[in-house]
């Protein structure tokens, strides 16, 4: 597709004389909660066999143990660093944490040759991106290769900064809706390249090694950050994370009823009487008669229960671990409702 006139022309960078130390490219993967960032990350890790890739996950909430087990497939030459961010405003903290994580990674330098950085669906990608521009010293070891934004075709976006947007979940919308979304993306970011995918399956050559910022000294990045500064809304502080564990095994039917009451009927209220809105739901569940762990994934009102390959160990206590991200959430109430829902004795056919 022909790009607009105002899009800056990219000039290939000249190799510095004297053979400088190899710089490691960093691709930032952004996108709103549940858009498909981790799906993309896993896809890249399974498809890409020539590069040793390090992954940094910048996740939201306390459920990081769970996030780890959900996020990245193990095996191969994979090195992980984890960023933990607490509830609250992330705009301020993300920059320092991001730097530290990358510095930790740098100590293992030589062991990998590419970094993928997934930012939480709530972080300000501008803050993460700006550290590459601000910190000149860091800039000598790594460089920002590109900002990839995954967009949920059904639920929305975060695209002003992106070099590449991936409109994911095209299976959930029709051609007209897709066309509309493409227009919206173009109107926010006229220069951005747009790919359309299901399950974030992309041609890796269109995602990695973009060299989006190869004009000297991050000038283009600073220009970009300037552009979004004016329009960037502050992080949504009403968003909270709630996690809890409930021991034992539960009925699949009752779990479905609980989730549907929560996501579809919005039946549960916090102590102020306001309905809880869950935007993102993740969990590892122990279902009756299932030998393997079951993963729960929810985005807005859509959810799925998938058996993982992982068996419950004989010694391992069976339990259910859940993470909720949303508004007006009350952890005590949610846990109580969960326990009461899975303890129902009537209409159970599988316990
Ligand atoms: N229908 C459909 N679902 C998808 C597609 N791609 C991913 N999903 C599902 O969307 C859910 C969220 O995917 P993730 O990759 O975990 O999303 P994420 O952006 O990493 O989520 P957070 O890190 O929590 O913000 C999972 O249940 C995926 O299976 C798609 O193309 N179509
Ligand atoms: Zn993720």
Question: pLDDT tens digit string along 59-117?
Answer: 554 444 444 444 444 444 445 555 544 443 344 445 556 666 677 767 766 667 888 88
Q: Quote the tokens at residue 89.
A: 């405003």
Q: Is the CB of 297 under 6 A from ligand 1?
A: yes
Residue 35 predicted with pLDDT over 50? yes
CB 44 within 8 A of CB 83: no
pLDDT at 179: 94
Atom of ligand 1 nearest to the CA of 59: 23
Q: Is the CB of 119 under 6 A from ligand 1?
A: no
CB 210 within 8 A of CB 164: yes
pLDDT confidence bin for 219, thresholds 50/70/90: low
All residues at 6 or more sequence positions from 92 whose CB lies less than 8 Å from its CB, including other chains: none
Q: When comparing pLDDT for 84 and 128, which is higher?
A: 128
Mean pLDDT of 23-38: 87
Mean pLDDT of 245-269: 96
Q: When comparing pLDDT for 73 and 260, which is higher?
A: 260
Mean pLDDT of 240-256: 92
Q: Where in the chain is the domain with CATH 3.40.50.300?
A: 24-61+79-206
Atom of ligand 1 nearest to the CA of 41: 15
Q: Is the CB of 201 under 6 A from ligand 1?
A: no
CA 308 to chain centre: 20
Task: Put residue 61 in one of left, alpha, beta given phi > 0 → left and psi -120 to 50 → alpha.
Answer: left
Q: When comparing pLDDT for 164 and 56, which is higher?
A: 164
Per-residue pLDDT tens over the stretch 146-156 = 889 999 988 77
**How far apart (Å, rounded) are the C-alpha atoms in residues 43 and 29?**
13
Residue 45 predicted with pLDDT over 60? yes
pLDDT at 242: 85
Q: Is the CB of 39 under 6 A from ligand 1?
A: yes
Distance 152 CA to ligand 1 centre (A): 8
pLDDT at 88: 38
Q: Quote the tokens at residue 117.
A: 């950085």
pLDDT confidence bin for 3, thresholds 50/70/90: very low
Torsion sign over Cα 177, 180, 186, 188: negative
Q: Which of 1-10, 116-125, 144-153, 323-332 has the least mean pLDDT?
A: 1-10
ipTM of the complex: 0.98
CB 221 within 8 A of CB 144: yes
Query: 64-71 vs 37-47: helix axis angle to the nearest 10?
Result: 40
pLDDT at 317: 94
Q: Which of 14-18, 22-26, 117-121, 262-266 has the least mean pLDDT?
A: 14-18
Sheet holding 142-152, edge to edge: 79-85, 53-60, 114-119, 24-30, 142-152, 164-168, 193-196
Mean pLDDT of 295-306: 91
**How far apart (Å, rounded) are the C-alpha atoms in residues 240 and 14?**
46
pLDDT at 109: 62
Phi, psi of 40 (to 5 degrees): -65, -45
C-alpha triplet 224, 116, 63: angle, nearest 5°: 105
Distance 39 CA to ligand 1 centre (A): 6
Name the superfamily (CATH) of residues 24-61+79-206.
P-loop containing nucleotide triphosphate hydrolases (3.40.50.300)
Q: Give the C-alpha distances (Å, rounded to integers) separating 321 from 158, 252, 269, 289.
A: 29, 15, 21, 18
Q: When comparing pLDDT for 151 and 12, which is higher?
A: 151
Distance 41 CA to ligand 2 centre (A): 8
Q: Find the Cα–Cα–Cα–Cα dihedral 211, 212, 216, 220, rounded to 10°.
A: -170
pLDDT at 4: 43
pLDDT at 347: 53
Distance 37 CA to ligand 2 centre (A): 5
Distance 222 CA to ligand 1 centre (A): 31
pLDDT at 218: 55
Q: When comparing pLDDT for 56 and 344, which is higher?
A: 344
Distance 243 CA to ligand 2 centre (A): 16
CATH topology for 217-228+239-343 is Hypothetical Protein Yjia; Chain: A;domain 2 (3.30.1220)
Task: Look at the pTM and tell me if it is higher than 0.80.
Answer: no
Q: Where in the chain is the domain with CATH 3.30.1220.10?
A: 217-228+239-343
The β-bridge relationship of strands 142-152 and 24-30 is parallel
Q: Is the CB of 131 under 6 A from ligand 1?
A: no
All residues at 6 or more sequence positions from 333 whose CB lies less than 8 Å from its CB, including other chains: 268, 269, 270, 271, 276
pLDDT at 289: 93
**How far apart (Å, rounded) are the C-alpha atoms in residues 230 and 293?**
46
pLDDT at 5: 44
pLDDT at 14: 45
- Please, what is the average pLDDT of the chain? 77
Q: Which of 51-65, 68-82, 167-181, 299-313 has the least mean pLDDT?
A: 68-82
Q: Is the CB of 30 under 6 A from ligand 1?
A: no
pLDDT at 100: 67
Q: Is 130 helix (H, G, I), strand (E, B) or coil?
A: helix
pLDDT confidence bin for 292, thresholds 50/70/90: very high
Closest C-alpha to ligand 1, atom 9: 36
């Amino acid at each position: 597709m022909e790009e607009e006139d105002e899009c800056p022309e990219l000039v290939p960078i000249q190799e510095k004389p004297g053979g400088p130390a190899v710089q490691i490219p960093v691709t930032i993967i952004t996108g709103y909660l549940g858009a498909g960032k981790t799906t993309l990350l896993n896809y890249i890790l399974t498809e890409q066999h020539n590069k040793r890739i390090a992954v940094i996950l910048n996740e939201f909430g306390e459920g990081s143990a769970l996030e780890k087990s959900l996020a990245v497939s193990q095996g191969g030459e994979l090195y992980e660093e984890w960023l933990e961010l607490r509830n609250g405003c992330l705009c301020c903290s993300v920059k320092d944490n991001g730097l530290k994580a990358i510095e930790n990674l740098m100590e293992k330098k030589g062991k990998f040759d590419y970094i993928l950085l997934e930012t939480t669906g709530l972080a300000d990608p501008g803050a993460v991106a700006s550290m590459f521009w601000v910190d000149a010293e860091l800039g000598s070891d790594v460089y920002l290769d590109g900002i990839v934004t995954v967009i949920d075709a059904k639920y929305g976006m975060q695209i002003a900064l992106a070099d590449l947007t991936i409109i994911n979940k095209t299976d959930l919308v029709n051609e007209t809706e897709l066309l509309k979304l493409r227009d919206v993306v173009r109107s926010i970011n006229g220069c951005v390249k747009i790919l359309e995918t299901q399950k974030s399956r992309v041609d890796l050559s269109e995602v990695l090694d973009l060299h989006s910022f190869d004009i000297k000294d991050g000038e283009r990045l600073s220009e970009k950050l300037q552009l979004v500064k004016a329009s960037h809304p502050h992080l949504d502080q009403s968003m909270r994370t709630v996690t809890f564990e409930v021991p034992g095994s539960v009925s699949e039917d009752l779990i479905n009823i609980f989730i549907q009451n929560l996501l579809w009927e919005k039946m549960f209220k916090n102590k102020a009487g306001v309905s809880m809105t869950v935007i993102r739901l993740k969990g590892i569940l122990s279902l009756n008669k299932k030998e393997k762990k079951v993963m729960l994934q929810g985005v807005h009102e859509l959810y799925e229960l998938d058996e993982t390959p992982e068996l419950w160990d004989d010694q391992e206590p069976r339990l259910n671990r859940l993470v909720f991200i949303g508004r007006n959430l009350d952890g005590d109430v949610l846990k109580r409702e969960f326990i009461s829902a899975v303890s129902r004795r009537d209409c159970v056919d599988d316990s």
